[in-house]
Amino acid sequence: MTQGSEENRKVNLVKDIFFLNIEDAYSEAAKQNKIVDEQGGERLQYCYYDGLLTDIVLDNFIQVPADGFIKFFSHNRLPVPQIIAISQDGVVHFNEMPADVIEEVKQYRTKYLAGYIHFDTYFVDPLLALNAAKQRNRVYCKHPTIDGLQLCYYRGELPEHSIKNLVHVELHDLVEFFTLSKLRLPEMVEMPDDLEDELKRAVREDMANALDAITKKRVALIEQLTQKAKAQKPVVVDGEPMRIVIPSRRLTTVMQYCSQGLAKAFEKRGCQVLFYIEANDMEVHNYIDFLNRFIDFNPHVVVYINSLRNTFYHDDVINIIWWQDPISEIKNQQLLNWRKNDFNFSVSPIFDRYLKQCGAENVERQHFVIDEDIFYSDDNRQRQQKIVFVGTSYLTQVDFDNNQQQQVIEELVEILNRGGRFDEQTVTRIAERSSLTYEFVFWKLLFYVIRDYPVRWLCQHSTLPVEIYGRYWDQNPLVAPFFLGELQHGDKVADVYRSATYAIVSHAFEINSQRLAEVAACGCIPLVYDCRDVAEKPHWDDYCLFFKTEDDLKNIIDNRLRPAKSSTVLAKNFTYDAAVDHFIEKSALKSLLGKSAFGDCQVSA
């Protein structure tokens, strides 16, 4: 046997172990054995033990009280040990963990993990902090699908370590540390049970006072930096490139990738780009840090998605805002403070109307775009005769116990089934007959019907294999047998499209959606819900197949229909390079062409 294969054999034999003796656990953990996880990747073997907390900083050495074993593992995502190690007469005996114990943990996890029981915490006892940080628990970040790594702050002393979510901050340093830090603030304080009540109250009071002081200090600094940024004219220097700031956020499912794609497209033109986003899943936007970076960079241009945020710009700073979602900032119909150098682009006429109700004078169209390095057709890959859909079910947007919502859905489905038109007048009449608002009927219930019902049709009648990806489809009994889980946006989604012949694209009022562009770019034939009677052109009639009813969809599939022209051609109109060209052409960026500050940035031919 070769050395490599021998090492692989050993890795495959290693399992996570629960030790009843701390010395045995430490001896095993110190070996830093590797284990193959369920996804086929390598990680360290976990050595859990029943005993006192220690300051041993090995990542894989974790205390688990034997009398709280099930509760401990029910509340985290650590691998459940398959082996229990018992020392007897100087010999360590390894036994299989009882199957009923493992099964009980699995059942509890389905109840508890969804509730996000962990919080970013300040620990008075550093040993508690150390043991908690090793567990790498996840915390709720006010987003339905994106969470964060639990931060464990501590006072006192610990040996030097490399555990990134274990952060030393003394109580008296809290204000100074967190005023500038991008790490999330602690949401709770953890203290040993045997600590005196009076001392516990004092610590909690100190923490509350510190958090209040942090807020006040941040507000004061932000005001100072805002005025400094606003007074700073963007400097034009001969021979230097244009400077562009593109802020984004980790707590977005699509926007961060779109912002990153724009950053790459501007860089290709020779521009200097500051792409500002959280570095990891422990950070949030600290506006002080952002403003300091903004001032140091002194940009000529800012590109924001879905946010105006123009209060700290010098008048000469060009502000490109690309509206992609119906956010409250533009839906509330209140006038916004527009600058001469604010340039609005939106993906839909509906957003145009929102913006004009907020006082925006001119709005240009800019559809969603795709990353050509990710979404592309591979002619060398064998394409399967199957139909796919990638996207979230809107099932959770509906309260099925609400009679008004049920009645509205029935009316919408009746129109859908007969191939009717969902124009503004139709939706308005339906909303007026109910106690629901037009906005709710349109954005929630209509979107649910247009998204979920075609997927149901597909699963009920398709004569080709069907694959459904996304969220919540397992809650629909018709779709659940075809549901294959979630896909992270990007390469995995593109791989699915490249593997399939057809993909469903269903939108209530838009043909030119991001999903259409992604499907088409991968050479997959788009099966598009036919909303051409309300959608803005172009409709790409020769490049897609359209269905209005269940029978239309069944006819396409049964007869293996194909569009007149290759869908990959239409995708060429949905690129980041084309979007940047459009931003330049339709804003004050164009006036900078030929100036030295623009450097090599040019509109591509």
Chain segment 192-213, per-residue pLDDT in tens = 988 899 999 999 999 999 999 9
Rounded to 5 degrees, φ, ψ at 400 are -75, -5
User: Both 307 and 407 in a single domain?
Assistant: no
> Is residue 261 domain-resident?
yes
Residues contacting 243, CB < 8 A, separation 6+: 234, 271, 272, 273, 274, 297, 298, 299, 300, 301
Element housing 84 (H / E): strand 83-88
User: Both 338 and 394 in a single domain?
Assistant: no
Ramachandran area for residue 41 (φ above 0: left; ψ -120 to 50: alpha; else beta): beta
Distance CA 527, CA 397 (A): 24
Band (12; pLDDT cuts 50, 70, 90): very low
Residue in the block written with tokens 């990638």: 390
Please classify residue 520 by burial: count the beta carbons closer than 10 Å to its beta carbon, then call 0-12 exposed, 13-18 middle and 19+ buried.
buried
Vertex 130: Cα angle to 125 and 131 (nearest 5) = 100
Please name the amino acid found at residue 58: L
User: Both 155 and 278 in a single domain?
Assistant: no
Note the pLDDT of residue 602: 44
DSSP state of 30: T
Distance CA 526, CA 389 (A): 10
Rounded to 5 degrees, φ, ψ at 290 are -60, -45
* Domain span including residue 46: 1-112
> Is residue 377 domain-resident?
no
Of 205, 231, 257, the residue at which a domain comes to its end is 231
Half-sphere exposure of 391 (CA within 13 A, CB side): 23
User: Both 538 and 414 in a single domain?
Assistant: yes
Distance CA 389, CA 450 (A): 13
User: Both 151 and 208 in a single domain?
Assistant: yes
Band (550; pLDDT cuts 50, 70, 90): very high
29 near 15, Cβ under 8 Å?
A: no
Please name the amino acid found at residue 421: R
Q: Is 306 helix (H, G, I), strand (E, B) or coil?
A: coil
pLDDT per position as a tens digit, 310-361: 999 999 999 999 999 988 899 888 999 999 999 999 999 999 999 999 999 9
> Is residue 36 domain-resident?
yes
CB neighbourhood size of 47 (10 A): 25
pLDDT per position as a tens digit, 254-298: 789 899 999 999 999 999 999 999 999 999 999 999 999 999 999
> Is residue 91 domain-resident?
yes
566 near 550, Cβ under 8 Å?
A: no
pLDDT per position as a tens digit, 104-117: 999 888 776 545 68
User: Both 566 and 447 in a single domain?
Assistant: yes
DSSP state of 334: -
476: domain CATH number is 3.40.50
Question: Span 388-392, mean pLDDT?
Answer: 96
> DSSP 3-state helix, strand, coil percentages of the chain (rounded to 5)?
40, 15, 45
Whether residue 149 is predicted with pLDDT greater than 60 in this model: the reply is: yes
Query: Which two three-digit tokens encode residue 40?
Result: 């086929």
Rounded to 5 degrees, φ, ψ at 207 are -65, -45
User: Both 181 and 314 in a single domain?
Assistant: no
Band (237; pLDDT cuts 50, 70, 90): confident
User: Both 423 and 564 in a single domain?
Assistant: yes
User: Both 443 and 566 in a single domain?
Assistant: yes
pLDDT per position as a tens digit, 575-584: 999 999 999 9
CB neighbourhood size of 555 (10 A): 13
Distance CA 166, CA 315 (A): 43
User: Both 519 and 407 in a single domain?
Assistant: yes
What is the DSSP secondary-structure string of 152-186?
EEE-S-------TTEEE--GGGHHHHHHH--BPPP
Strands of the sheet with 318-323, listed across from one edge: 272-276, 243-247, 301-305, 318-323, 342-346, 363-365
The overall average pLDDT reported for the chain is: 92
343 near 556, Cβ under 8 Å?
A: no
Q: pTM for this one? A: 0.86
Q: Is 596 helix (H, G, I), strand (E, B) or coil?
A: helix
Band (7; pLDDT cuts 50, 70, 90): very low
User: Both 326 and 194 in a single domain?
Assistant: no
508 near 422, Cβ under 8 Å?
A: yes
Q: Is 461 helix (H, G, I), strand (E, B) or coil?
A: helix
CA 234 to chain centroid, in Å, comes to 33
> Is residue 601 domain-resident?
no
User: Both 437 and 559 in a single domain?
Assistant: yes
Note the pLDDT of residue 594: 58
Of 78, 112, 146, the residue at which a domain comes to its end is 112
> Is residue 584 domain-resident?
no
Q: How much is the CA Rg of the chain, to the nearest whole Å?
A: 28
CB neighbourhood size of 556 (10 A): 18
Most confident of 45-49, 73-77, 398-402: 45-49
Q: How many domains is the chain partitioned into structurally? A: 4
> Is residue 594 domain-resident?
no
152 near 166, Cβ under 8 Å?
A: yes
Whether the upstream peptide bond of residue 538 has omega within 30° of 0, thus cis, is yes
| CA nearest neighbour of 517 among 258, 249, 251 | 258
User: What's the maximum distance between 2 C-alpha atoms anywhere in the chain?
Assistant: 85
> Is residue 221 domain-resident?
yes
